[in-house]
């Protein structure tokens, strides 16, 4: 299997609800599995991106939101064997028990630092045992497990510095140019990337849940704007509906997973669902859709691995939106040069969009991303684009994508700090 095929396959993971609550619940459930006896306390320390993204986001199978309740449910009913779908089996009685533990002061969370590097440290202490599970760099990457003071597991990632994590040479995607990525997606054996079909199966089920569930609001209005049809003759309107009904369903915690990419369900949705709309409206072949999706994923990864997995900018709109835009150019028969021009248009427009957590606002950000992508592609296909000399655009598309990522990390570290401070002030008030 080609390295890029393997890269996509390894990165695609189903995630129930927003990824961060799932990761918190997974860490707590894993720590709990090493303990017995009556609970004394659960504490979860996490980096600012984790803290922020889970702050008010919906939790699957619960009416509650946020990181404290995610930790409580992870202890009460989390299934570590299910990874990011750790809360798939939650029942109403589990919500009641979780609330009881919170009311008794047994569940706490804390901010460990302002950084885009993923970090979770879940501590479960009972009357007889104490287990600590550490996660770094990706949402389910356990780097250390300590039980009653004895180290049961420790990987190389545990002691890797943040500088090493964020170095420009740190991810193999950066060894490729946009031209090389294009050459790969146009020549790879279609059977080798047929696993991508699973992303559409998962994301379409989430989309349909968003349409039928009475808890959604944006989804129904987007359906109305699309003439009451799932697929209309208006490609952009159909794309916005399919993309953002799925995002809304995800962020409010409906009980269907998204297929995540770069550790995010919303990234996975934006990178795929508008392409599916284009496929349905225009009658593209399934093969062309799968090749386009591989391109979308890889451009998303390229930007995201510079910005950091969790940062102060909206990688869903910026990284996944840019990948999706390049894929739209491919579907329309455009060249790599037009893709580069599209990236310039994206970089010059929505790069500064902030991420203020996984919440209902992600739906509006998704709507803006689809709008920006379609306009960027339409302009670029007509020979209209922001020239390389302007703003953060680079001399090459690789430089442009790198610069987009650097705006987030280290560029927006101060913004991240301010966002978290606003959240903490809201808690006090």
Task: Point out the least confidently predicted range of 36-40, 49-53, 159-163, 287-291.
Answer: 159-163
Q: Tell me: do 156 and 58 sit in the same domain.
A: yes
Structure-token pair, residue 398: 């690789």
Domain identity same for 123 and 175: no
Residue 158 lies in a domain: yes
Residue 39 lies in a domain: yes
253: region left, alpha or beta (phi > 0 left; psi from -120 to 50 alpha): left
The predicted pLDDT at position 323 comes to 98
Distance CA 316, CA 238 (A): 19
- If asked whether residues 126 and 176 sit together in one domain, one would say no
The tokens of 216 are what? Answer: 């959604």
Residue 262 CB partners (closer than 8 Å, separation 6+): 11, 300, 301, 304, 305, 309, 315, 319, 320
Classify each residue of 180-205 as buried b or exposed e, where b means 16 or more C-beta atoms within 10 Å of its C-beta. Answer: ebbebbeebeeebbeebeebbebbbe
Please state the rounded mean pLDDT for residues 177-196: 98
Of 308, 320, 235, which is closest to residue 278 (Cα–Cα)?
Answer: 235
Summarised one tens digit per residue, pLDDT across range 136-147 is 988 899 999 999
Q: Are residues 417 and 384 in the same domain?
A: yes
The pLDDT value recorded for residue 426 is: 87
State the chain's mean pLDDT as an integer.
Answer: 94
In a domain, 4, yes or no: no
* Pair 125, 154 in one domain: yes
Helix axes 178-187, 321-331, angle to 10 degrees: 50
335-363 mean pLDDT: 95
91: left (phi over 0), alpha (psi -120 to 50) or beta: beta
Residue 7 lies in a domain: no
Is the pLDDT at 193 greater than 70? The verdict is yes
Q: Check pLDDT > 90 for residue 58.
A: no
Query: Which contiguous run of DSSP H or E holds residue 384?
Result: none
How sure is the predictor about 166, in pLDDT bands with cuts at 50, 70 and 90?
Answer: very low
pTM of the model: 0.87
Residue 239 lies in a domain: yes
Whether 11 maps to a domain, the answer reads no
332 and 232 inside one domain: yes
pLDDT at 427: 80
Cα separation, 27 vs 49, in Å, equals: 16
Residue 158 and residue 183 in one domain? no
Assigned domain for 144 exists:
yes
Q: What is the pLDDT of residue 311?
A: 81
Question: What local confidence, expressed as pLDDT, does residue 159 receive?
Answer: 81
Domain containing residue 275:
168-426
Q: Are residues 247 and 143 in the same domain?
A: no
Q: Is residue 5 part of a domain?
A: no
Give the torsion sign (CA, 309, 356, 372, 202): positive
Query: Cis omega before residue 406 (within 30°)?
Result: no
Query: For 82-112, what is each residue's pLDDT tens digit?
Result: 998 999 999 999 999 999 999 999 999 999 9
Of 9, 14, 52, the closest CA to residue 315 belongs to: 52
Q: At CA 53, angle to CA 360 and CA 21, rounded to 5?
A: 95
Q: Are residues 50 and 127 both part of a single domain?
A: yes
Shared-domain flag, residues 195 and 120: no
Q: Identify which of 394, 393, 302, 410 has the alpha carbon closest to the alpha carbon of residue 349.
A: 393
pLDDT of residue 162: 60
Which of 164, 182, 215 is the last residue before a domain boundary? 164
Question: So what's the pLDDT on residue 36?
Answer: 97
Cis upstream peptide for 218 (omega within 30°):
no
pLDDT digits (tens, 9 = 90+) for 383-429: 999 999 999 999 999 999 999 999 988 889 899 999 999 998 988 87
DSSP state letters, 266-292: HHHHHTTHHHHHHHHHHT--HHHHHHH
Same domain for 298 and 156: no
Cβ count within 10 A of residue 337? 14
Given a contact cutoff of 8 angstroms between Cβ atoms, the answer to whether 253 and 17 are in contact is yes
> Band of the pLDDT at 169, cuts 50, 70, 90?
low
Share of the chain above pLDDT 90, in %: 82
Last residue of a domain, one of 143, 164, 185: 164
**Residue 167, pLDDT score:** 45
Q: Is the pLDDT of residue 209 over 60?
A: yes
- Which CATH number is 223's domain given? 1.10.4100
pLDDT at site 163: 55
Q: What was the pLDDT predicted at 115?
A: 86
What per-residue confidence (pLDDT) applies to 368?
98
What is the rounded distance in angstroms from the CA atom of residue 340 to the CA atom of residue 178?
8
With a cut of 90, say whether residue 164 has pLDDT above it: no
Instruction: Give the domain-ending residue among 127, 142, 164.
Output: 164
Domain count along the chain: 2
Tokens representing 265? 């369900």
* Per-residue pLDDT at 165: 47
CATH code at 57? 3.30.1330
């Amino acid at each position: 299997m080609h390295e890029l095929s393997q890269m996509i396959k390894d990165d695609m993971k189903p995630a129930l609800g927003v990824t961060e609550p799932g990761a918190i619940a997974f860490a707590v459930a894993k720590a709990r599995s090493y303990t017995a006896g009556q609970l004394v306390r659960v504490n979860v320390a996490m980096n600012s991106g984790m803290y922020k993204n889970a702050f008010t986001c919906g939790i699957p199978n619960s009416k509650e939101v946020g990181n404290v309740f995610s930790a409580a449910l992870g202890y009460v009913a989390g299934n570590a064997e299910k990874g990011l779908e750790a809360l798939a089996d939650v029942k109403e009685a589990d919500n009641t028990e979780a609330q009881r533990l919170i009311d008794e002061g047994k569940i706490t969370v804390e901010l460990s630092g302002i950084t885009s590097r993923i970090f979770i440290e879940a501590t479960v202490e009972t009357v007889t045992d104490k287990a600590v599970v550490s996660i770094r760099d990706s949402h389910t990457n356990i780097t250390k497990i300590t039980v009653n003071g004895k180290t049961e597991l420790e990987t190389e990632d545990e002691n890797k510095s943040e500088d090493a994590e964020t170095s420009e040479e740190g991810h193999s995607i950066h060894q490729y140019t946009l031209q090389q990525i294009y050459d790969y997606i146009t020549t790879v054996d279609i059977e080798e990337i047929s696993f991508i079909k699973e992303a559409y199966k998962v994301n379409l089920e989430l989309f349909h849940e968003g349409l039928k569930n009475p808890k959604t609001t944006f989804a129904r209005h987007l359906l109305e704007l699309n003439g009451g049809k799932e697929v209309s003759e208006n490609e952009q309107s159909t794309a916005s509906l399919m993309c953002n009904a799925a995002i809304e369903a995800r962020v409010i915690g409906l009980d269907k997973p998204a297929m995540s990419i770069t550790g995010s369900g919303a990234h996975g949705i934006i990178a795929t669902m508008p392409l599916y709309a284009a496929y349905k409206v225009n009658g593209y072949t399934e093969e062309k859709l799968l090749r386009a999706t591989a391109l979308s994923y890889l451009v998303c990864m390229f930007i995201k691995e510079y910005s950091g997995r969790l940062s102060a900018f909206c990688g869903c709109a910026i990284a996944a939106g840019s990948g999706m835009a390049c894929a739209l150019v491919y579907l329309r028969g455009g060249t790599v040069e037009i893709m580069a021009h599209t990236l310039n248009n994206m970089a010059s427009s929505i790069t500064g969009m902030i991420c203020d957590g996984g919440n209902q606002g992600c739906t509006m950000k998704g709507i803006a991303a689809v709008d920006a992508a379609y306009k960027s592609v339409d302009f670029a296909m007509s020979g209209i684009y922001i020239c390389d000399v302007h703003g953060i655009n680079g001399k090459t598309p690789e430089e442009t994508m790198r610069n987009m990522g650097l705006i987030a990390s280290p560029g927006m570290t101060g913004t991240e700090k301010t966002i978290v401070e606003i959240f903490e002030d809201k808690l006090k008030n």
